[in-house]
Structures are given as structure tokens and as C-alpha cells.
């Protein structure tokens, strides 16, 4: 964390403003890339495109978000408690596993990259 937050002490608001547009572009390209890759991969695995994209986007918000969003989507789409439970039963396991795996895998890869550069 020191590698990330240490240099922020000398950052000026103008520096942050200068980076806002490139960060927004990178974020948008990332979302579009995730959606395209997830949609194509989901089709190959037999999932619907919306479900595939939702699973792919779990890499953005990880575990707590996957559970909350799945429950809210089920409540929003279901009209009876039975429908809500059925919808949750269908989407919640996929979203939870995807959230854990994408965030965990990414954390391990990023940590490996950072750890290999410490002391070099």
C-alpha cells in the first residue's frame, strides 16, 4: 500500500484533473472489453449474453457487491417471495463464484508483480 499511497502526498489537484480523462477512457475500454469477452465466452458456455456480461463485470466489484447486486436484482425482478428465491438461486451462486475468483486471481497476479519488483 505504501507504493500506492506514498507518492500521493505530493500530488496536486491539477495533476488529478489531468489524469481524469485518460482514466475514464481506460475504464470505458475495460468495461467494453469485459462485456465483449464475457458475452462471447458466455455464448460458448451456454449462458445468455446479459448473464455472461453480469458475470464478467463481477471483476469490478468483487464479493460484497456481487451478493448485494444479485439480491437486489432478484427483488426487483421477482414479484413473489418464491420468484425472488428462484431468481437468487439461479444467479447468486454464479455471481459469488465469479466475484471471488476474479478478485482473488487478480490480487494474486498483481501481488506477484509488485513483490517481484520490491528490492530491484
Average pLDDT over residues 64-87: 92
**pLDDT at residue 41, rounded to an integer:** 93
Average pLDDT over residues 13-39: 92
Residue 6 class from Cβ within 10 Å (0-12 exposed, 13-18 middle, 19+ buried)?
exposed
**pLDDT at residue 86, rounded to an integer:** 96
Query: What pLDDT band is residue 2 in, cutting at 50, 70 and 90?
Result: low
What is the model's pTM?
A: 0.69
**pLDDT at residue 1, rounded to an integer:** 58
What Cα–Cα distance (Å) separates residue 57 from each residue in 3, 17, 116? 27, 26, 28
**21 has a pLDDT exceeding 80:** yes
Ordered by start, the domain boundaries in the chain are: 13-56, 62-120
Amino acid at each position: 500500500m505504501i507504493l500506492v499511497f506514498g507518492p500521493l502526498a505530493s500530488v496536486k489537484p491539477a495533476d488529478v484533473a489531468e489524469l481524469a480523462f485518460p482514466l475514464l477512457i481506460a475504464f470505458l475500454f475495460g468495461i467494453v472489453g469485459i462485456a465483449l469477452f464475457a458475452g462471447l465466452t458466455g455464448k460458448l458456455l451456454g449462458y445468455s449474453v446479459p448473464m455472461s456480461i453480469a458475470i464478467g463485470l463481477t471483476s469490478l466489484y468483487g464479493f460484497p457487491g456481487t451478493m448485494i447486486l444479485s439480491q437486489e436484482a432478484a427483488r426487483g425482478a421477482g414479484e413473489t417471495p418464491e420468484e425472488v428465491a428462484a431468481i437468487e438461486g439461479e444467479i447468486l451462486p454464479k455471481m459469488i463464484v465469479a466475484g471471488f475468483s476474479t478478485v482473488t486471481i487478480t490480487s494474486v497476479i498483481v501481488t506477484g508483480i509488485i513483490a517481484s519488483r520490491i528490492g530491484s
